[in-house]
Structure 1
Amino acid sequence: MPRRTPLSALDRMRTPRRFPGFLKTASVCVLIAGLLSPFSQAVAASGAPKAAAADDYCGGQCSDILPPGENGNATLAQILLNQAFGTQPGHAEDQLGPYANLAKGYPALTTDKINTFFNDASFGVPSGQVASSEKPAGRGDVTIVRDKKTGVPHITGTTRYGTEFGAGYAAAEDRLWLMDVFRHVGRGQLTSFAGGAPANQGLEQQFYRNAPYTEADLQAQIDTAVAKNGERGQQALADVNAYLAGINAYIDASDPGRYFPGEYVLTGHKDAITNAGTIDHFKVTDMVALASVVGSLFGAGGGGEVNNALSLLEAQAKYGVAEGTRVWESFRERNDPEAVLTLHDGQSFPYAAKPASAQGEALPDAGSVTAEPLLYDRTGSAKSQTATGTADTVAKSALSSARRGMSNALVVSGAHTASGHPVAVFGPQTGYFAPQLLLLQEIQGPGISARGASFAGLSMYVELGRGQDYSWSATTSGQDIIDTYAVELCQDDHHYLYHGTCTAMDQVQQANAWKPTVADGTAAGSYTMRVWRTKYGPVQYRATVGGKKVAYTTLRSSYLHEADSIIGFQMLNDPDYVKGPQDFQKAAQHINFTFNWFYADSRHTAYYNSGDNPVRAAGVDAEFPVWAQPAYEWRGWDPAANTADYTAPAAHPNSVDQDYYISWNNKQAEDYAAAPWGEGSVHRGNLLEDRVKKLVAAGGVTRTALTQAMADAAVADLRAEDVLPKLLKVIDGAPVTDTAAAAAVDKLRAWLTAGAHRTETSAGSQKYADADAVRILDAWWPLLVEAEFEPGLGSALYTAFGANLPVDEAPSAGHGPTGSHAGSAFQYGWWSYVDKDIRAVLGEQVNGPLAQKYCGAGSLTACRDTLLGTLKQAAGMTAAQVYPGDDQCSAGDQWCADSIAQRALGGIKHGRISWQNRPTYQQVVEYTSHR
């Protein structure tokens, strides 16, 4: 019996076409209470069998959480109820409350209370907790059992095919609409599928530019991944096909039963009265399209070489070539000696270091760079969106923000725990969405035994979670696997020199058109996205170099290889493969996306940094564009397959049983220089490092203590904790005579003494403790940074550096690149620059200093005047000025400005929660035994 209930009479009423997430309340909703049939699980729990539990060595000490809830599908009636009255479908947000409550509840946390804020992640479902049991499509070789508390599917199969069929069926039950959205995003077809809202336009433009694949390209990636991986490759393809069969079986069952997601009616794909229309079956190339979105968001570090070049040219124009280069390098901090490291035991892993003498650089002529157009033949509502403007909208309002807030990990060796077993608190931060990009599941079958989170539509395996006696997780690492090449043009703008031969670029395009949408007022429109591709990757910019016309292309090692990582995930799910830390590392070596992988069992911890790191030609500086010539290509590069020589696994940062590991997207190891901007003396990772290091020094670490360390860091203001003390030290050099400035100093000092947290006065109060101090720092930071650095750098260079690294990323809507209500904060900002500069002005030791002193031009007295002047200005700003309000918050509402919103990717909406800076999926684990 299918899980979803049929549409009620209301569902069958015709509804105007509109995009979900922007629905307006319909007056007809007053009828819903009498028309909506009860939401129920497939089979009553009372007589249902329990899910068969595999061997579980966690001893009840594995927990996890994934807000807002497991159920990401809703009928039309449920969507309209939600829009009108806030009513939630079953299990749509039952993990949101426990997740939110940790922000205030962590100080009183005990071992017995952990599962008040997390779920029990033990294998199986106790018989008294079984909510439903079903045999999908009547199959006898697989059972899907769902538990009462969360509705998470526990899939148990007696055959490999049946197991994967069940995984696909359960995924469609929980995320069918989201999966459909993302297979269209990955093909650049979202607007034609879901409407022309600005966010939709931006999404498809962003991903199409990065992965402009044809259907043949998608199929070739499947063929390549299977062919090069032998028996495991064949098994992966069989698993995918079984998984797809399960998805399609659910589609077939839901159609006549009318319990498919209501968004299909709201977007015109199904008729609510006649049931006309179809939901297209999923196919194998959809998996690659989905994987390209995930890889682009979370697993593709590097790039930015053109922006790097532009800021270098500005520095050289300001200071001259030699000094400008020195200034640029000091702000780049590509191998900063004060950076917090994940591997802190003295290991060195050289990669992408600055060459002694750069070769093949192709820096643009000043003023010659233009972005390559993406949109053509725009009509209607598409005309109001520029390629740049739309991408900016997305970065502020949709999935791009997820890329900036990725994940943390705290892992402590058993040598330092109370039990003698390792303890880990870790998980990915994939953004806050409704429904979540991830889903929870347990899969038990031949060759598979795991529970955890997987990206919707790619859940044939658990991607982050636990096996029988081990857990694993990941953070985005960001090491550089992307390079920019300057291809010299010949004949016209669409031919280039390849190894001396004038060669035509390959043009790929996607035409999209959409109908008017009632809810958000978007008019009909259309456009064509067009990308010019070369053997060196897609064209991103045009410029001249030494007077020669060039196209700048972007080549990443995972381009045309989005499917390759499937083998690594297959291994991580295989209990016969992973039996210890070395096996875990070997599995992670098969993942070509850029991630930091962490592992814990009852005896060992481990770490491995994955990704296909290309071997660059001698003398090539990965920070800047190089000429597209054989001498500067990746070593062993095959342009047809986009394969190359890659650095050996031993050259990747890796470790077993270090005393502890922390990661919050910080630098991995000494000399691993291929990192994003901003990995200097003050980084978000310091919030974890300081707390975990203190716990390890004291010894006897517990799950409770490590969870508290994570949660305390999650509500801390990095600027206040790590930079404010230095600022106050400058100010304290003399009495503060201005009363307004003195009052502001007192408030900031009191907040710092209290812990520099951004937390409510009491749970649910929606008012911050130390609210004035928080407001003052939010207002002060951008003012002080500008006043400290712009006079010395000059406006042009200050702006150019700001394009490489944003000045601020506080939680509130107006402060930084993440955008409003996105949760993640303090990953990117000028914290390190301010810290190093202020210490230098104070005369303190600075390893890896900036090339010059900027605050007060190096004068301590002038620097103090700058700080006090901007502080007084900040203190005088009203809350409404600092928090200007948006579509969700009134001007001046500080708590609301910080608050986290689950961004609607479908028709169901959820309430805001108080800010906290932590993973969206998170595990707390401590294994008691081992196989």
Structure 2
Amino acid sequence: MRARIPVLIATAVVTMAGVVVPAGSATARQPDPPPAVPDYCAGQCADILPPGENGNATLAQILAHRLLGTRPAHADDQLGAYAALADEYPTLTTDTIRRFFNDASFGVEPDDVESVVRPREDVTIIRDKSTGVPHIYGTTRSGTEFGAGFAAAQDRLWLMDIMRRVGRGQLTSFAGGAQGNRELEQQFFSAAPYTEEELAEQIERAARSGPRGAQALADARSYVDGINAYIERAHRGRYFPGEYVLTGHVDPITNIGEIEPFELTDLVVLASVVGAQFGAGGGGEVRAAIAKLAVQERYGLEQGERVWRGLRAEDDPETVRTLHDGQRFPYGRTPEHATGRAMPRPDSVLPQQLVFDRSGSAADDDTAAWHVPAPAELEPARGMFADGVLPADLLSEKHGMSNALLVSGRHTESGNPVAVFGPQTGYFAPQLLMLQELQGPGISARGASFAGLSFYVLLGRGQDYAWSATTSAQDIVDTYAVELCEPGGEPPTRESDHYLFDGQCVRMDTVERKNSWRPTIADPTAPGSYTLRSYRTKYGPVTHRAVVDGKPVAYASLRSTYFHEVDSIVGFQELNDPGAIRSARDFQRATSKINYTFNWFYADADDTAYFNSGANPVRHPDADPSMPVWGNAGLDWRGWNPEGNSAEYTSFEAHPQSINQDYYISWNNAQALEYAAAGYEKSSVHRGDLLDRRVSELIADGGKVNRVNLTQAMAEAGLADLRAERVLPELLRVIDTAPVTDEVAAGAVAELRAWARDGGLRAETEPGSRRYRHATAIRIMDAWWPLLVRAQFEPGMGERAFDAMVSVLKINESPSGFQNEVPGKHVGQPHQGSAYQSGWWGYVHKDIRAVLGDPVNGGLGERFCGGGDLSACRALLLDTLRQAVREPIEDTYPGDADCEPGDQWCADSIVHRPLGGITHDKISTQNRPTYQQVVEFPARR
């Protein structure tokens, strides 16, 4: 064990004691050094979070970046190390791990101290030269949390501000009326349409939950005080984020304007934003119902049910699972004799209207005609947010790409567990997460936290243990149909705003947000306004209107975490408390108090552990969680109370969990036998296979794992094309049943076969070449997949059922994101880094094996390729392969705002989507967590 003592060093910038200066400066006063903190990792803990810790930039820094390409210190100093691992992982050694990861030891070496700030007498913030990460030391608990809030505002104030606006559905009024802003605020508002009173009540309820709840409230108050202290001082000192000037909130000359202080309710909003993105599984039952009806229409009820069950992939016997020792945790499965399904007439379904009273918009006006007067020096930033301050698909494109690899000590070289794990929160500039170290009474941790929720470390390490999470997405969201009515007894319509509940015709609640916007320097969108209005029932917000059994209904979405956005706070508090976490079982108990759906992983010097968290409602045994069900029909959650949305939840023992399994992997795959996940993609081929194979091979025949080879396994899996590794061999088996005489097809087969033999990786010829080793094969696969899937399945399914299933599960998620659904009509989510989470790989795999005559456990209920005829299937594969070869590369990679058409490497590249005025360089694709830890504890308390 080695305890490092942070040493305070005065710099040339001299200030009055107690006066706070921007990050990167220091006080001249030398208070007593903070006490040494026990650190049992002995230099074997490392982490990384690109692009960099500093996510704030002053107006001068933004303009310098726009004109000269410069960036503030620590804005991108973790990006190069993160990117380099994709090229250099084969030669990784114990000595070179630090080239690709930060030292995650506690404390700061004396010669690595960059700045020291004391925002209050009871807290010191030390930043290191290496990364600029804040190390926060409080002599009181309140001081520690105050420092955490102050440091969060130093590093992420603008991001925190826009996130609290988007969570309330008020982004356009704050940051402009760009189409992306409008789309995004509508998505979040529809998921969590709370009043301010309801936000405050959630805080009070959590505080009343017990001593830890009361402590959490006190911690949050001190944290908010720290944020507001920085806002006040930064505004007065004119070193606040420059985006406030560019969006018209502060005058660049007079400094007149307001940066609104934060309130406790803002933290609830931020928690709801994070929960909606990463911690809520389920939903989508209306879309699934339409698809199931289309399948039944095609095949009839009996055969249609078999086909549907195959496509649903519920508890697929062939899928990869995190728990592989035979543990069973029954939950969420479709009852054999389900009742009460509320299946819509497909042509009657309409999304619930959210936007009302629209006046003016960017679509209606000539934005070029608008000019916002501004000093000439601000011109370089004009139009900076013309597309929106956040990606419009931030919520619709789930970021469930986290992964974890842990190996028990009995399979490692040292005898201590080894873990490589982290969450994937997408690539943004600045990152949604931020790094920090917190040391104070009852708190001792280092790691990552979401900006604005960093009063605790959410994922990271304690003194002698580390933890991380992946999104689990088990089903905690159900859709209920409520019959519409009119209070006067008139016939209802789909537009009626009353519904039947407990035999009464009651009015829906409404929550409104009135938004208006005007042109700004950063967003010259024409002025406009609208009202967002959510209609809410006892069963949650209305998502759709439809007709069921001839009756007009509203579909409402009931989420178990609805009105419970901050209940998880106690679990996170315990994870930061060294007194609370002394064993793997303590860790499991702490994470069981987190109501969002996550897979949690733990490692200390002796043990590894896993626990699946989430407020899993106990459903009526006859209710089908995958389909909409009738409300007011006795099918509610057991013990459900609509006032405050509480219910019975499955017990601690019912959640998938384990201690010291030989190894654990997770890449958002299935958790355990009989634990039905919400996703349809958990079939015979899943991204988790890429990790599972590599880790199992490391320990096969007595093999031993260390930090190097486990990191290499993660990195290689991050470059692997799932289709090439798992599906292509089966496709080639079909093709190889006869000689390929066509020259075009034969050439393509040879390219694909060589790529597969070489590992099926999307790897560069050499670092920085921006060209893949098997560029031709990769291009062929990218073009082939959408052609293949449609040709394989649409003739049997019919167009209607095929398209309905595509709406439930997209067919592809390649790194470039363009090859999807309809040939020649490329849609997708390019540059997000993550790939292969959702797709039809399992469907293709099962169907091809069935056509070959192989045994298929949990088949699709029908043979699709070539109508089940091997010769016809082979002809189909070769025909679509020839089409793929002839497809122009500009069609496969059509280009976008970041790339020219036909640029394969660029199409795959990771782009940090700018959320403020600073942008960053592209890096080559790699499918790995955004924040990542490599840990191995040689000792413990």
Question: Take 1:46 and 1:783, find their aligned partners in 2: how far apart are those partners?
Answer: 68
| Contact 1:397 1:819 survives alignment (8 Å) | no
Question: Take 1:319 and 1:172, find their aligned partners in 2: how far apart are those partners?
Answer: 58
Task: Determine which of 874, 885, 897 is the counterpart of 1:864.
Answer: 874
**Is the aligned partner of 1:42 residue 2:25?**
yes
**Is the aligned partner of 1:258 residue 2:238?**
yes
Question: Take 2:648 and 2:158, find their aligned partners in 1: how far apart are those partners?
Answer: 40
Q: Could you say which residue in structure 1 is the equivalent of 2:823?
A: none
**Is the aligned partner of 1:691 residue 2:671?**
no
Q: Could you say which residue in structure 1 is the equivalent of 2:17?
A: none
Question: Take 1:866 and 1:788, find their aligned partners in 2: how far apart are those partners?
Answer: 7
| Contact 1:637 1:643 survives alignment (8 Å) | yes
Task: Determine which of 750, 753, 756 is the counterpart of 1:749.
Answer: 753
Q: Displacement, 1:520? A: 5.2
Task: Determine which of 172, 175, 197 is the counterpart of 2:156.
Answer: 175
Question: Take 2:306 and 2:602, find their aligned partners in 1: how far apart are those partners?
Answer: 40
Q: Could you say which residue in structure 2 is the equivalent of 1:30?
A: none
Q: Displacement, 1:379? A: 1.9
Question: Take 1:904 and 1:673, find their aligned partners in 2: how far apart are those partners?
Answer: 37
Question: Take 2:789 and 2:391, find their aligned partners in 1: how far apart are those partners?
Answer: 22
Task: Determine which of 826, 829, 836 is the counterpart of 2:836.
Answer: 826
| Match runs of 1:6-85 below 5 Å | 41-43=24-26, 52-85=35-68
Question: Take 1:489 and 1:450, find their aligned partners in 2: how far apart are those partners?
Answer: 52
Task: Determine which of 910, 914, 921 is the counterpart of 2:920.
Answer: 910
| Contact 1:49 1:130 survives alignment (8 Å) | no
Corresponding letter in the other structure for 1:408? N
1:395–1:476 Cα change, 3 Å: farther
1:323–1:209 Cα change, 3 Å: same
Question: Take 2:911 and 2:338, find their aligned partners in 1: how far apart are those partners?
Answer: 46
Corresponding letter in the other structure for 1:760? E
**Is the aligned partner of 1:878 residue 2:888?**
yes
Deviations 1:519-558 (A, max 9, x none): 5542111111111001100000011111011100000000
Task: Determine which of 130, 145, 149 is the counterpart of 2:126.
Answer: 145
| Match runs of 1:103-142 below 5 Å | 103-136=86-119, 139-142=120-123
Question: Take 1:852 and 1:128, find their aligned partners in 2: how far apart are those partners?
Answer: 67
Question: Take 1:263 and 1:611, find their aligned partners in 2: how far apart are those partners?
Answer: 37
Q: Displacement, 1:813? A: 3.8
Q: Could you say which residue in structure 2 is the equivalent of 1:379?
A: 359
Q: Displacement, 1:518? A: 4.6
Question: Take 1:372 and 1:400, find their aligned partners in 2: how far apart are those partners?
Answer: 18
1:863–1:915 Cα change, 3 Å: same
Structure 2 residue matching 1:409: 3-state secondary structure: strand
Task: Determine which of 700, 704, 718 is the counterpart of 2:704.
Answer: 700
Q: Displacement, 1:815? A: 2.8
Deviations 1:131-154 (A, max 9, x none): 111101xx2211000000000000
| Contact 1:378 1:527 survives alignment (8 Å) | yes
Q: Could you say which residue in structure 2 is the equivalent of 1:221?
A: 202
| Contact 2:183 2:392 survives alignment (8 Å) | no
Question: Take 2:817 and 2:424, find their aligned partners in 1: how far apart are those partners?
Answer: 18
Q: Displacement, 1:285? A: 0.3
Deviations 1:298-332 (A, max 9, x none): 00100111011101110111111111111111101
Q: Could you say which residue in structure 2 is the equivalent of 1:432?
A: 427
Corresponding letter in the other structure for 1:410? L
Question: Take 2:410 and 2:801, find their aligned partners in 1: how far apart are those partners?
Answer: 49
**Is the aligned partner of 1:728 residue 2:751?**
no
| Contact 2:811 2:840 survives alignment (8 Å) | yes
Corresponding letter in the other structure for 1:182? M
| Contact 1:435 1:905 survives alignment (8 Å) | yes
Q: Could you say which residue in structure 2 is the equivalent of 1:840?
A: 850
Deviations 1:866-905 (A, max 9, x none): 0000001101122212111111111110000000000011
Q: Displacement, 1:400? A: 2.9
Question: Take 1:39 and 1:913, find their aligned partners in 2: how far apart are those partners?
Answer: 30
Task: Determine which of 532, 555, 562 is the counterpart of 2:558.
Answer: 555
Structure 1 residue matching 2:670: 3-state secondary structure: coil
Q: Could you say which residue in structure 2 is the equivalent of 1:355?
A: 335
Question: Take 1:460 and 1:909, find their aligned partners in 2: how far apart are those partners?
Answer: 27
| Contact 2:175 2:389 survives alignment (8 Å) | no
Structure 2 residue matching 1:632: 3-state secondary structure: coil
Question: Take 1:50 and 1:864, find their aligned partners in 2: how far apart are those partners?
Answer: 73
**Is the aligned partner of 1:326 residue 2:282?**
no
Task: Determine which of 804, 807, 815 is the counterpart of 2:808.
Answer: 804
| Contact 1:597 1:610 survives alignment (8 Å) | yes
Matched residue count: 891
Task: Determine which of 601, 611, 614 is the counterpart of 2:614.
Answer: 611
Structure 2 residue matching 1:541: 3-state secondary structure: strand
| Contact 1:51 1:124 survives alignment (8 Å) | no
Question: Take 2:91 and 2:775, find their aligned partners in 1: how far apart are those partners?
Answer: 23
Q: Could you say which residue in structure 2 is the equivalent of 1:267?
A: 247
What stretches of structure 1 of length at least 5 have no aligned partner?
7-37, 386-391
| Contact 2:819 2:892 survives alignment (8 Å) | no
Q: Could you say which residue in structure 2 is the equivalent of 1:286?
A: 266
Decide which moves more: 733-742 or 361-370.
361-370
Q: Displacement, 1:506? A: 0.4
Q: Could you say which residue in structure 2 is the equivalent of 1:892?
A: 902
Structure 2 residue matching 1:896: 3-state secondary structure: helix
Q: Displacement, 1:199? A: 1.4
Structure 2 residue matching 1:400: 3-state secondary structure: coil
| Contact 1:382 1:526 survives alignment (8 Å) | no
Deviations 1:243-275 (A, max 9, x none): 011001101111110000000000011001000
Q: Could you say which residue in structure 2 is the equivalent of 1:585?
A: 588
Q: Displacement, 1:39? A: 8.7
Question: Take 2:801 and 2:450, find their aligned partners in 1: how far apart are those partners?
Answer: 41
Deviations 1:804-833 (A, max 9, x none): 100111011413576111111100000000
Q: Displacement, 1:674? A: 3.2
**Is the aligned partner of 1:477 residue 2:472?**
yes
Question: Take 1:827 and 1:425, find their aligned partners in 2: how far apart are those partners?
Answer: 19
Q: Could you say which residue in structure 2 is the equivalent of 1:234?
A: 214
Deviations 1:583-638 (A, max 9, x none): 00010011000000000000000000000000011210101111111510000001
| Match runs of 1:378-777 below 5 Å | 378-381=358-361, 398-400=393-395, 403-491=398-486, 492=492, 493-519=496-522, 521-697=524-700, 698-777=702-781
Corresponding letter in the other structure for 2:106? F
Q: Displacement, 1:46? A: 12
TM-score by length of 2: 0.93
Deviations 1:162-185 (A, max 9, x none): 010000000000000001011111
Structure 2 residue matching 1:704: 3-state secondary structure: helix
TM-score by length of 1: 0.94
Structure 2 residue matching 1:533: 3-state secondary structure: strand
| Contact 2:181 2:388 survives alignment (8 Å) | no
| Contact 2:276 2:395 survives alignment (8 Å) | no
Question: Take 1:831 and 1:731, find their aligned partners in 2: how far apart are those partners?
Answer: 18
Q: Displacement, 1:356? A: 1.7
Q: Displacement, 1:197? A: 1.3
| Contact 1:142 1:163 survives alignment (8 Å) | yes
Question: Take 2:713 and 2:917, find their aligned partners in 1: how far apart are those partners?
Answer: 36
Deviations 1:744-767 (A, max 9, x none): 011111111111111111111111
Question: Take 1:402 and 1:305, find their aligned partners in 2: how far apart are those partners?
Answer: 17
Q: Displacement, 1:366? A: 3.3
Q: Could you say which residue in structure 2 is the equivalent of 1:295?
A: 275
Task: Determine which of 76, 81, 98 is the counterpart of 1:93.
Answer: 76
| Contact 1:474 1:595 survives alignment (8 Å) | yes
Structure 1 residue matching 2:115: 3-state secondary structure: strand
**Ranges of 4+ aligned residues in structure 1 off by more than 4 Å:** 3-6, 44-52, 382-385, 392-398, 518-521
Q: Displacement, 1:416? A: 0.2
| Contact 1:50 1:124 survives alignment (8 Å) | no
Structure 1 residue matching 2:347: 3-state secondary structure: coil
Structure 1 residue matching 2:75: 3-state secondary structure: coil
Task: Determine which of 319, 327, 331 is the counterpart of 1:339.
Answer: 319
